[in-house]
A and B are shown apart, each in its own frame.
Chain A
Amino acid sequence: MTVTVKLFAHLRDRLGFGDRSVEVPDGASVGDIWRAISGEEALPRHVLAAVNMEYRQPTDAVQDGDEVAFFPPVTGG
């Protein structure tokens, strides 16, 4: 299946892209997507994840066509 991955702030600088389509096996989780794009085994504790613009945990499943975002701790306000 194909998902769109979005990265923000210093994660985008570190991994070198902001928006990309990624092919992953059916049944992949948020954590599997992170492994596919970063090569790291686990999602670092401070990295936040969202699927279709709602916060999700690394173990949550992802569907074909989803938008999966990873970003550092937020610093607004």
Chain B
Amino acid sequence: MHVSLREAGFDPWAELAACQQERLAGGAYGATAAFVGTMRDFNEGATVQRLFLEHYPGMTERELERLATAAVDTHGLLDVLVVHRVGRVEPAEPIVLVAAWSAHRASAFAACRELMEALKSTAPFWKREETDAGDRWVERNTPG
């Protein structure tokens, strides 16, 4: 299980490859499910030029660890990877990567989806958007 916050951009595909190479034994897993969330340049009818992702240092990491541990325990996963940006994010940059490895696909799919939804509802992050009409806090998530 690995959780990390990044202040700089990251390549989710390179993260997946590195995780598989360094932490997972070839032959042990039969399924990998991954979700990548990327910054849109539009939201709620406005063009968004940039995003600032605030977090609660300490609690955010702790909450992500808790969610990842719960996913491993619930679904009997072999490994979980969570990478999330903080700070300034530009359109088209990845914001979040959630990946789950398991012996069979059902648990990998379910864990990836559940972990992502749990992250959206409990991990302490807040988005502030820079739009044509000024800055604004994002008040709610779009439905999953």
Contact surface of A with B, Cβ cutoff 8 Å? 6, 8-10, 13, 50, 53-55, 69, 71-77
A–B Cβ pairs within 8 angstroms, 9 of them? A9-B128, A53-B56, A55-B122, A75-B126, A75-B138, A76-B55, A76-B96, A76-B125, A76-B127
Chain A residues lying within 8 Å of B37, measured Cβ to Cβ, are 77
Number of chain B residues whose Cβ lies closer than 8 Å to a Cβ of chain A: 27
Chain A residues lying within 8 Å of B126, measured Cβ to Cβ, are 8-10, 71-72, 74-76
Most-contacted residue by chain A among B95, B96, B123, B126 (CB, 10 A): B126
Chain B residues lying within 8 Å of A74, measured Cβ to Cβ, are 120-126
Within the assembled complex, what's the spacing in Å between the Cα atoms of A54 and B59? 7
Cβ contact within 8 Å between A8 and B119: no
Q: Can you name the residue of chain B whose Cβ is closest to the Cβ of A77?
A: B120
Distance in Å: Cβ of B76 to nearest Cβ of chain A: 24
Chain B residues lying within 8 Å of A76, measured Cβ to Cβ, are 53, 55, 84, 95-96, 119-120, 123-127
Distance in Å: Cβ of B131 to nearest Cβ of chain A: 15
Within the assembled complex, what's the spacing in Å between the Cα atoms of A27 and B84? 37
B residues 122-144 in Cβ contact with A at 8 Å:
122-128, 137-141
Within the assembled complex, what's the spacing in Å between the Cα atoms of A8 and B128? 12
Residue B58 at the chain A interface, CB threshold 8 Å: yes
Closest 6 CB pairs of A and B: A76-B125, A9-B126, A53-B59, A77-B120, A75-B138, A10-B137
Contacts A76-B120, A76-B123, A77-B119 aside, 4 further interface pairs with beta carbons under 8 A come to A10-B137, A50-B124, A54-B59, A75-B126
Chain B residues lying within 8 Å of A54, measured Cβ to Cβ, are 59, 62
Cβ contact within 8 Å between A9 and B62: no
